Amino acid sequence: MKRLIGLIVVGGLLLAGCAQPSVTTSSPPELYDKVWISPGEVDVGNFFPGARAEPDPQDWLTIHNGNDYQAKFSITYRQPDKITEGYVRAPDEAKNWVIIDDPAPVLKAKETRQVLVAVEMPQGANAPPKWEFWIVVKDETQPGMVQTELACKWLVTMKQ
């Protein structure tokens, strides 16, 4: 009987020693140490002058600072380098229609944050049937001459 109790105690100690701590992160482990944004593309359909397009909160622009230090980011409107087939560049005045809730967020190391980006077209404004613009995010703390921008493509289709 003493032997059985001894085996149970030793077995319990061995099993307890095998437990691993769990680590919870806001991004998948392979992206935890990287700077990333999401989504990569926003599609706006049936848009018209006087309308506002604003994603649901879970679809706001998400930025993750994978650096080991606090970083300041800039979020800006930009014309695309390459246009998606079937679309044209956004009208020049579209830069005034884009609303960025926090255009210069400062994120702590490994922090993930959502930022509202919306587009509001004034009544009486004109736009082509299908147009595209980008929202770019840049880590302002990047060193060196060459710096990376991450882009979220916005594809807008006007109401017929």
Residue 11 pLDDT class (50, 70, 90 cuts): very low
Mention every residue, 6+ apart, whose C-beta is less than 8 A from residue 79. 89, 90, 133, 134
Q: Which amino acid is at 23?
A: V
Taking phi over 0 as left and psi of -120 to 50 as alpha, with beta for the rest, 94 belongs to alpha
Identify the three-state secondary structure at position 142.
Answer: coil
Q: Taking the model in full, what pTM does it have? A: 0.80
**Using an 8 Å Cβ cutoff, are 118 and 54 in contact?**
yes
Tens-digit pLDDT profile for residues 116-154: 999 999 999 999 999 999 999 999 999 889 999 999 999
Residue 2 pLDDT class (50, 70, 90 cuts): very low
Which token pair is 143? 């060193």
Which token pair is 78? 């930009």
Domain boundaries, the chain: 26-158
Identify the three-state secondary structure at position 2.
Answer: helix
Higher pLDDT, 131 or 26: 131
Assign a CATH topology to domain 26-158: Immunoglobulin-like (2.60.40)
